[in-house]
Structure 1
């Protein structure tokens, strides 16, 4: 087993190496966005259509500055590669774990008292006789004993990422904000609740987290295309008054809620009070142009500065064209703040917009 990537190779003034993750089937679009930002990009797929390794002819901090200023829609997560350990079939699990631990010294910036989270993953087909949790346990022990660091899962100062492949192990250290998501691989997990109406609720929860929103700060929301009520239920839990609109039925668990007004009809047949709402959410399985038209027809009810959270279905796998056409339809009344394919999205994107 050899370390054949020196630490300085990825932090030099010449280039840096990364591992990026997208939703399954959408890595090709993440690569396209990266190519637009970084013409020097060289890449290969670790997991087809999902996880990619790429090298950019810029140092790490310059790459991060550009990514934060122009965050890709489809790159869900990334982390730098500072160490690459070559794997051989003959090495036993205990020895390989020891080798991984020994390379902590090649990761600069670990200091006493720091809160550090270990995030370990493996690719399919990477045969080894230990689990990602065992990697974390072994590294946590070394961090605590030798570095006097604090091993944590959330709210870390730094994240050490370990990615195990069939022939290599990649390690890197980074700040949580530099990974685009502080969840391993960007796979943010929520616990399913008893009586939860639908898993669609997770999409709105993730949007609140990813876009830095706090729904408790809003007063009165419109949920367009609300049935069966997953998004409506979350907003009611946050204390909002919700006006839900859908020709379909809402779940019986919320239908009599005192802060709910429900119009069981098409949005075109609903008249709301002007400038009475500060939040509009919409999660509909419609053609984006149709959704955009419905949304635009309801903007009279939203206050200036009001927030919109909208999922956009990528029905024909032409995401850049779809978003461009939709924004052309919605501007200048609305301004895009953030567009992201979240972990809980499937064939869709989530948009965060503000009414001008």
Structure 2
């Protein structure tokens, strides 16, 4: 029997738990933060549970943390001393490795210390043990969830925890002149799906306005054809590698095999979006990549997702479906043309 803390985007924990019920028999849940964070008990070993999660990663589970130990919260400096002692007893996990400290605090927790204060103390212990503190892409993560009465702590790799950010909350810094927050969605998709957009040459952006995704791809050096009857942001006019078609995508045809990347973040119904993407199939090269958001506009999101994937899998191989941190009422699909 093992225990875990799971996190989903706000309002989507129920869907994450539903997926986990299908994955693990006799799983039990306790909500820690309504609609977002929950504790899970699974009748499997740590290794068995991780293997199942990685082989069948749920769409709505953003982050998973093992609970290796619990420590009662005293509400004073003894809490940091107890955490320090726990790290000291894990010398083999630390020696010669880069270690990240992740702290999340439940609302109203009596644990007094901020993430930065906790990290400063535990980083010093890690260095004593021959480890190296890290912020991003660590070898190992020491995760701490400060609840109402206990510190629930666990060790794991970024792969095992599904993210190298605390709770899977991926943060990007807003840039001067940024067109829209939609850019963060595509940046996160690039990380989550292990893509490198600079390796592509020619992209089609369907439903591009105001142009956040187009802007990122232009910055990566691609030639981009953006299609939308609405206006693109004026800043994009300075890019000679941009072709802008102020039309409905359904009214545009392209030569066969033109694009090796298709992106689509349209606020259309999922089935209309699927139909439109399939209409552009001939314009894609063999093994072209598609990054598509699916808007969850109906009461049965899991059924909507199944219907969209089934339709697209007639011509694409689904590599991954995930609700990213920067998704709202939607998920993101990563597909390869057959």
User: Shorter-chain TM-score: which interval?
Assistant: over 0.9
**Is 1:281 equivalent to 2:269 in the alignment?**
no
Judge conservation of contact 2:88–2:125 (CA < 8 Å) in 1: no
Distance 1:291 1:92, change over 3 A: closer
In structure 2, the gaps of 5 or more residues are none
TM-superposed CA distance for 1:108, in Å, is 7.2
The secondary structure found in structure 2 opposite 1:253 is: helix
Give, in whole Å, the separation in 2 of the partners of 1:95 and 1:64: 32
The answer to whether the Cα contact below 8 Å between 1:218 and 1:278 also exists between their aligned partners in 2 is yes
User: Hey, what does 1:32 align to over in structure 2?
Assistant: 18
Q: For residue 69 of structure 1, what is the aligned residue in structure 2?
A: 55
1:21-56 Cα deviation digits (max 9, x unpaired): 100000111111111111121110111110111111
Query: How far apart are residue 330 of structure 1 and its match?
Result: 2.1
How big is each residue's C-alpha offset from its partner over 1:152-177, in whole Å with a ceiling of 9 and x where there is no partner? 11221111001101111111111121
Give the alignment partner of residue 328 of structure 1, picking from 300, 307, 310. 310
Secondary structure, aligned partner of 1:254:
helix
Q: Does the 8 Å contact 2:230/2:246 carry over to 1?
A: yes
Contact (CA 8 Å) 1:83, 1:106: kept in 2 or not? no
**Matched residue, 2:46:** 60
Does 2:131 align with 1:131?
no
1:352 and 1:204 map into 2 onto residues whose CA distance is 11
The alignment yields a C-alpha RMSD, in angstroms, of: 1.3
CA–CA distance in structure 1, aligned partners of residues 93 and 253 of structure 2: 59
Question: Is 91-100 or 228-237 further displaced after alignment?
Answer: 91-100
Once the two structures are TM-superposed, the CA of residue 142 in structure 1 deviates from its matched residue by 1.6
CA contact (8 A) 2:79 2:111 kept: no
SS of match in other structure, 2:77 = helix
SS in 2 for 1:255: helix
**Does 2:179 correspond to 1:197?**
yes
Alpha-carbon distance in 2 for matches of 1:215, 1:157: 25
Rounded to whole Å, the distance in 2 between the matches of 1:267 and 1:112 is 55
Deviations 1:43-102 (A, max 9, x none): 101111101111111111111111111011000011111110122xxx342122112222
**Counterpart mapping for 1:88-99 below 5 A:** 91-99=74-82
Deviations 1:230-276 (A, max 9, x none): 00000001110100000000010012421011100111211211111
Q: Identify the match of residue 121 of structure 1 among 99, 104, 110.
A: 104
Show the 5 A alignment for 1:237-252: 237-252=219-234
For residues 241 and 75 of structure 2, the distance between their equivalents in structure 1, rounded to whole angstroms, comes to 61
Map of 2:123 onto structure 1: 140
Residue aligning to 1:16:
2
Residue 290 in structure 1 maps to residue 272 in structure 2: yes
Unaligned runs of 5+ in 1: 1-14
Name 1:301's counterpart in structure 2: 283
